Amino acid sequence: MPSIEACLFDLDGVIVDTAKYHYIAWRQLANDLGFDLTHAQNELLKGISRMESLEIILALGGVKLTDEEKLQRATEKNSRYLALCMQMTPADTLPGVRAFLDELKKGGIKTGLGSASKNAKVILERIDMLSYFETIVDGNRITIGKPDPQVFLMGAADLAALPAQCVVFEDALAGIQSAKAAGMLAVGIGEKAVLTQADIVIPGFADFHFQDMEAAFA
Q: Based on CB atoms, which residue is closest to Mg ion, 65 or 88?
A: 88
Contact between 97 and 15 under an 8 Å Cβ cutoff? The reply is yes
Q: Which does 117 bind (CB under 5 to 8 A by kind): ligand BG6, Mg ion, none?
A: ligand BG6
Sign of the CA dihedral running 156, 157, 161, 165? positive
Q: Which does 153 bind (CB under 5 to 8 A by kind): Mg ion, ligand BG6, none?
A: none
Using CB under 6 A, which of 6, 16, 48, 129 touches ligand BG6?
48
- Distance (Å, whole) CA 201 – CA 195: 7
> Quick one: which of 26, 31, 24, 27 has its CA closest to 51?
26
The SS3 of residue 70 is helix
Number of residues that bind ligand BG6 (CB under 6 A): 18
Residue 136 CB, shortest distance to ligand BG6, in Å, is: 13
Should residue 118 be labelled a site residue for ligand BG6 when binding is judged by CB under 6 A? Answer: yes
What residues act catalytically? 10, 12
Using CB under 5 A, which of 109, 171, 179, 202 touches Mg ion?
171
- Distance (Å, whole) CA 80 – CA 73: 11
Using CB under 6 A, which of 16, 29, 37, 115 touches ligand BG6?
115
The span of 100-108, 116-124, 126-134, 196-204 binding ligand BG6 (CB under 6 A) equals 116-124
Should residue 10 be labelled a site residue for Mg ion when binding is judged by CB under 5 A? Answer: yes
Contact between 54 and 77 under an 8 Å Cβ cutoff? The reply is yes
Sheet strand arrangement including 185-189:
135-137, 110-114, 6-9, 166-170, 185-189, 200-202
Should residue 22 be labelled a site residue for ligand BG6 when binding is judged by CB under 6 A? Answer: yes
Q: Which of residues 174-213 bind ligand BG6 (CB under 6 A)?
A: none
- Residue 182 CA, chain-centre distance (Å), reads 16
Should residue 11 be labelled a site residue for ligand BG6 when binding is judged by CB under 6 A? Answer: yes
Number of residues in the chain? 218
Should residue 12 be labelled a site residue for ligand BG6 when binding is judged by CB under 6 A? Answer: yes
Q: Based on CB atoms, which residue is closest to Mg ion, 124 or 172?
A: 172
DSSP element (H, E) containing 112: strand 110-114
Instruction: By CB under 6 A, name the binding residues for ligand BG6.
Output: 11-12, 22, 45-50, 53, 78, 115-119, 139, 172
